[in-house]
Chain A
Amino acid sequence: MMQELYLNPHQARRRQPTAYEDLLGDSIERAYAAGVHDLAGLVAHLNRTGPNCPAGGVWTEDSYRAEIARLAAEC
């Protein structure tokens, strides 16, 4: 009998994403797709289209840095 083979499509993430994380991912990808690859532009895009920054509504470069570092480490 053969042992079951290891096939796990999710080896990087630690948990299911939340709705907010999915929205943020969508929004970042849309900004990137539009050619916005700088931090100021990305922050402006998020403030225009959402989602809001959970810390205080409005995104700043600092709050984006802090939030995305948290998400990269946590999810």
Chain B
Amino acid sequence: MRTNANDPVDAVLAVGLKDLWYPMCPSSFVAERPVSLRRLGRKFVLWREASGVLHALEDHCPHRGAPLSLGIALGDRIACGYHGVQVRADGVVMSVPGSPGCKLEGAKATRSYHVREAAGAIFLYNSSVDITDPPPLNLPTELTDDVHSHFLCYTEWKGDYRYVLDNVMDPMHGTFLHKQSHSMAEGDSTAAFRVRETDTGFVFEKEGQRGVNFDWTEWADTGLHWMRLEIPYPKTGGPGGNFIIIGSYTPISENVSAVFHWRCRKVDGWQRDTWRFLYQNRLEARHWAVLEQDRAILEMMEPDANQREMLYQHDMGIVRLRRHLRNLAKAQLEAGAEKAA
């Protein structure tokens, strides 16, 4: 999704902004055996100690660049499979078996990353340089408080992650694309939208319509970029009010995205258990069908579709979000230039 192949701002956005938390994968993807994940313009290796403690390094051996993920995890370090060089989770080389005492030993030679686990996912701080302490991971309240219950839905879609952002910042597609879905048959097919500022971002919302269909999207930056929306459940969904979706999206490669949706509901006690039972038994499949409608459209969009657009009022949120992200990318470029000067 390049507006201009030589645009450095786009190049920054294509691999994801730096110095932010990003969801990487569901927690269950990583065990003691090292896993390689291509994300955010590079490859990472993630593994766990037997105690469950997670680690992440760039998946690149400082000796000759073999993937560390093909090596053997030894607690807090990995022994590269190629020549046995051992790299600790902080990026320091602990041993060079082929040449003991060589200069590489003791050197901080591999990029290391901070990881956290929350809400069923692994998050990584995409720092521009190695740092000792990352900022806190601030998730939206639906994923951390006791009054909401949630399930993570993780998918990988073909297409730039910014098309996924555009799709979520476009509430009006619910009325058309998801017309036949179990939860979005209501609401006017024309609407006026407005932008409302919040402490952490903005809300793009229909004027005079709330709780009818997919009526608004919130964009938030809490050190993690995430989006929030609500969709009214049909009566069969029982007590608990609207269905809340938290979304966060991470580039895998130029044309593949890691798509995280947490499906949340404000439910407690028997209502919570009933929702969780129904979700596992049948609702997940219905929500999946809706998400597949989005994927079918997004994956068929040409990578340069955004070069020939005729936007109208419903697309104001998209325009706003793109401008916001470009400004962040520009600031990142300028900060980088200052450091270099």
Residues of A within 8 A of B (CB): 2, 5-14, 17, 21-22, 24-25, 28-30, 32-33, 35, 37, 39, 64-65, 68-69, 71-72, 75
Instruction: Known contacts A11-B151, A12-B151; decide if A5 and B156 are in contact (CB<8 Å).
Output: yes
Residues of chain B from 77 to 94 with CB closer than 8 A to chain A in the complex: none
The answer to whether A10 and B278 touch across the interface, beta carbons within 8 angstroms, is no
The answer to whether A13 and B154 touch across the interface, beta carbons within 8 angstroms, is no
Selected contact of A12 from candidates B256, B272, B279, CB within 8 Å: B279
Selected contact of A5 from candidates B151, B256, B273, CB within 8 Å: B256
A-B contact pairs, 21 of them (CB 8 A): A5-B155, A6-B154, A7-B156, A8-B155, A11-B154, A12-B279, A14-B280, A22-B281, A25-B278, A25-B281, A28-B238, A28-B278, A29-B282, A32-B237, A32-B238, A39-B270, A69-B273, A71-B273, A71-B277, A72-B272, A72-B277
- Min Cβ gap B120→A in Å is 9
The answer to whether B281 and A13 touch across the interface, beta carbons within 8 angstroms, is yes
A39 to B278, CA, bound (A): 16
Selected contact of B285 from candidates A9, A14, A29, CB within 8 Å: A9
Which residues on the A side are within 8 Å of B156 (C-beta)? Answer: 5-7
Can you name the residue of chain A whose Cβ is closest to the Cβ of B288?
A9
Which residues on the A side are within 8 Å of B278 (C-beta)? Answer: 25, 28-29
Q: Cβ of B22 < 8 Å from any Cβ of A?
A: no
The 4 closest A-B pairs by CB, nearest first: A5-B156, A72-B276, A72-B273, A13-B280
Q: Cβ of B239 < 8 Å from any Cβ of A?
A: yes
Which residues on the B side are within 8 Å of A30 (C-beta)? Answer: 236
Residues of B within 8 A of A (CB): 26, 151-158, 234-239, 256, 269-270, 272-274, 276-282, 284-285, 288
The answer to whether A28 and B274 touch across the interface, beta carbons within 8 angstroms, is yes
Which residues on the B side are within 8 Å of A33 (C-beta)? Answer: 234-236
The answer to whether A11 and B284 touch across the interface, beta carbons within 8 angstroms, is yes
- Min Cβ gap B102→A in Å is 35
A62 to B114, CA, bound (A): 45
Can you name the residue of chain B whose Cβ is closest to the Cβ of A69?
B273
The answer to whether A11 and B153 touch across the interface, beta carbons within 8 angstroms, is yes
- Min Cβ gap B146→A in Å is 16
A33 to B28, CA, bound (A): 35
A9 to B62, CA, bound (A): 39
A12 to B288, CA, bound (A): 11
Instruction: Known contacts A5-B156, A5-B157, A69-B273; decide if A21 and B281 are in contact (CB<8 Å).
Output: yes
Can you name the residue of chain B whose Cβ is closest to the Cβ of A18?
B281
Selected contact of B270 from candidates A2, A13, A68, CB within 8 Å: A68
The answer to whether A68 and B274 touch across the interface, beta carbons within 8 angstroms, is yes
The answer to whether B277 and A25 touch across the interface, beta carbons within 8 angstroms, is yes
Given contacts A10-B285, A11-B154, A71-B277, 16 further A-B contacts (CB under 8 A): A5-B157, A7-B155, A7-B156, A11-B284, A13-B281, A25-B277, A25-B281, A28-B274, A28-B278, A29-B236, A29-B278, A39-B270, A65-B273, A68-B274, A72-B273, A75-B281
A28 to B282, CA, bound (A): 12
Which residues on the A side are within 8 Å of B279 (C-beta)? Answer: 12
Q: In the complex, which of the residues B152, B274, B279 has the most CB atoms of chain A within 10 Å of its own CB atom? A: B274
A5 to B152, CA, bound (A): 17
Can you name the residue of chain A whose Cβ is closest to the Cβ of B153?
A11
Can you name the residue of chain A whose Cβ is closest to the Cβ of B235?
A33
Which residues on the A side are within 8 Å of B281 (C-beta)? Answer: 13, 17, 21-22, 25, 75
A9 to B279, CA, bound (A): 12
Instruction: Known contacts A11-B153, A12-B280; decide if A5 and B158 are in contact (CB<8 Å).
Output: yes
- Min Cβ gap B289→A in Å is 8
- Min Cβ gap A55→B in Å is 15
Can you name the residue of chain B whose Cβ is closest to the Cβ of A30?
B236
Can you name the residue of chain B whose Cβ is closest to the Cβ of A39?
B270
Which residues on the B side are within 8 Å of A7 (C-beta)? Answer: 155-156
